[in-house]
Structure 1
Amino acid sequence: MNPKIALKKIWLDEDVTEFVVTVIDRVSTFKSKVYVGYDYLQSLIKELSTFKDQIYGGIYDIEMGEFGPEYASGAFKARLHYYVPGKLSIATHQQTEFFDFSNRKEAAESKMYLKTEPILLDNFIAQLQKLNSGDADEAELECA
């Protein structure tokens, strides 16, 4: 499988949208379900459109859902960093919904590290726009 980050819309109402976030590196795949506010995608598109041009050391965090047992569903965070011009690194952290395990609550977690390029980020932003308008149910950020 090719490395990527994929967002798939599962469900929405007038307040929240549920996504499955899938991260694939060269060896592993990890999925988590997250909830975001209704206007989250619109904000994400706007902020990524600004970030994409910050190729000299820009840093941007994508955050979806919330970490911890107090919150519904899971969480996803990705730190995007132009560590040299034209090279974009992505560090991800994901957590599933908490569940009963022995006599405590636990959640599966994953940290993965990916690299991509500015043109692939541009493609992702275009796919997010289709996702936001309802013309698609999934957006993928291809990685190298």
Structure 2
Amino acid sequence: MGKSIAFTKLRLQDGRLDLRIETCDERGVVSCEIHATDRELERFADDLHGFRNVSNQSACEFQLGTFEPESANGGIRIRIRFHAPGTLALTVSQRQAPQEPGGDRVHAAASMHVLSEPALLDDFISQWSGLVAGSRDEATLRCL
């Protein structure tokens, strides 16, 4: 897999969609699974669409899932800012749902920095809309 942020639909149960998210660069892969409702998926899509209207001086942050320690869900937080003409810098923070070895709640978390382009983000937004609508099982933001 090349440099990317890939969201893959795992299963739909009880009105919640389980997703695997993998962020890849030349050094490695960060992966987590999260659970999201239809409303959360639609809000994420709306937030991404809104990024198109942001000035080149601003940064935006998008989150899906949660980073709260008492939650049994994982999460992803993506901070996007304009880096250079035609380039976007993304900081991707991911947190896995807690594991309970020996009764302790342990949350694995990692962050990765990647670059992309506005046209690649537009392609991802289109794929994401298909994932939310149920016509796709994966949405991938290709990175540089």
TM-score bin (small chain): 0.7 to 0.9
Q: Which residue of structure 1 aligns with residue 35 of structure 2?
A: 35
Q: Which residue of structure 2 aligns with residue 100 of structure 1?
A: 100
Are the aligned partners of 1:88 and 1:115 in contact in 2 as well (CA < 8 Å)? yes
For 2:97 and 2:43, locate their aligned partners in 1 and report how far apart those are by CA, in whole Å.
25
Residues 79-114 of structure 1: CA deviation (Å, up to 9, x unaligned): 111134422110011111222345733222211000
Instruction: Determine helix, strand or coil for the equivalent of 2:136.
Output: coil
Root mean square deviation, CA, Å: 1.9
Q: Which residue of structure 1 aligns with residue 10 of structure 2?
A: 10
Are the aligned partners of 1:54 and 1:82 in contact in 2 as well (CA < 8 Å)? no
Residues 16-47 of structure 1: CA deviation (Å, up to 9, x unaligned): 22211111111111111112221222222222
Q: Which residue of structure 2 aligns with residue 23 of structure 1?
A: 23
Please tell me the residue identity of whatever aligns with 1:86: G
Please tell me the residue identity of whatever aligns with 1:98: P
For 2:90 and 2:117, locate their aligned partners in 1 and report how far apart those are by CA, in whole Å.
11
Q: Tell me whether 86-95 or 101-110 shows the greater mean CA deviation.
A: 101-110
- What is the TM-score normalised by the length of structure 1? 0.88
For 1:48 and 1:85, locate their aligned partners in 2 and report how far apart those are by CA, in whole Å.
19
Q: Between the two proteins, what is the percent identity of the paired residues? A: 26
- What is the TM-score normalised by the length of structure 2? 0.88
Are the aligned partners of 1:67 and 1:95 in contact in 2 as well (CA < 8 Å)? yes
Are the aligned partners of 1:34 and 1:65 in contact in 2 as well (CA < 8 Å)? yes
For 1:28 and 1:45, locate their aligned partners in 2 and report how far apart those are by CA, in whole Å.
27
Please tell me the residue identity of whatever aligns with 2:83: Y
Provide structure 2 residue ranges, at least 5 long, that are not aligned to the other structure: none
Aligned CA distance change for structure 1 residues 121 and 31 (closer, same or farther; 3 Å):
same
Please tell me whether residue 64 in structure 1 is matched to residue 61 in structure 2: no
Provide structure 1 residue ranges, at least 5 long, that are not aligned to the other structure: none
Q: Which residue of structure 1 aligns with residue 115 of structure 2?
A: 115
For 2:87 and 2:105, locate their aligned partners in 1 and report how far apart those are by CA, in whole Å.
39
Are the aligned partners of 1:57 and 1:85 in contact in 2 as well (CA < 8 Å)? no
Report the number of matched residues. Answer: 144
